[in-house]
With several copies, the nearest count.
Chain A
């Protein structure tokens, strides 16, 4: 499942919603990205996160499908927020559900790597004096 939304989300609720559908899940690995208070050696005020929404759905679906082909997964969940995000707020959740733990670990890391590389989101980071558009390292 892929969700692209402005609003915050609750980890317990989101993960539970998927877990409750499948009693054969034994393992769940998830990654959460947060807005940090310091970046490029500057105090961060907030992020403005822009998305190309139609393309983001397509790209994230491709990445999700590639993960499902590579590992034995029962379900996956990606939530990516956009809009104004303050320091300490959650930006992204990637959660992978499987019978055994190695599949969920590998798939979660794989999805994050490709999300960072290809998903059309852009962080405009606002400091106290100026702002900057970030670029993920290759």
Chain B
């Protein structure tokens, strides 16, 4: 499972992505717990509910179940155009 970071999320993680090989999270909720552990600064942004998640390049609701081959992305509100 690959987790990709965009925009200022990368300033917190200091990298573009993480790869989880074992014990991968089964839901977005579990993923958040996992990432809060790795990057405590993310916790306040999860609480504020401002970040968006995509699974395999599609926006998702939180109750979707995650698979080991998924590409997950975490990013702040967009500002294109």
Direct contact of A and B (CB under 8 A): yes
List B contacts of A101 (CB < 8 A): 81
Q: Which DSSP category, helix, strand, loop or mixed, fits chain A's interface? A: mixed
List A contacts of B76 (CB < 8 A): 122, 133, 135
Which residue from B8, B75, B79 sits with its C-beta under 8 Å from A52?
A: B75
Q: Which DSSP category, helix, strand, loop or mixed, fits chain B's interface? A: loop
Q: Is A99 engaged at the interface, CB distance under 8 Å to the other chain?
A: no
Q: Which residues of B contact A (CB under 8 A)?
A: 4, 6-8, 54, 57-59, 73, 75-81
List A contacts of B80 (CB < 8 A): 49, 51, 56, 80, 91-92, 115-116, 119-123, 136
Given the known interface contacts A52-B6, A52-B73, the answer about A122 and B78 at a Cβ–Cβ threshold of 8 Å is: yes
Contact with B along A83-115 (1 / 0, CB 8 A): 000000001100000000100000000001001
List B contacts of A122 (CB < 8 A): 6-7, 75-76, 78-80
Pull 10 A–B residue pairs with CB atoms less than 8 Å apart, ordered by A. Answer: A50-B6, A55-B73, A80-B80, A112-B81, A120-B75, A122-B79, A122-B80, A133-B79, A136-B77, A136-B78
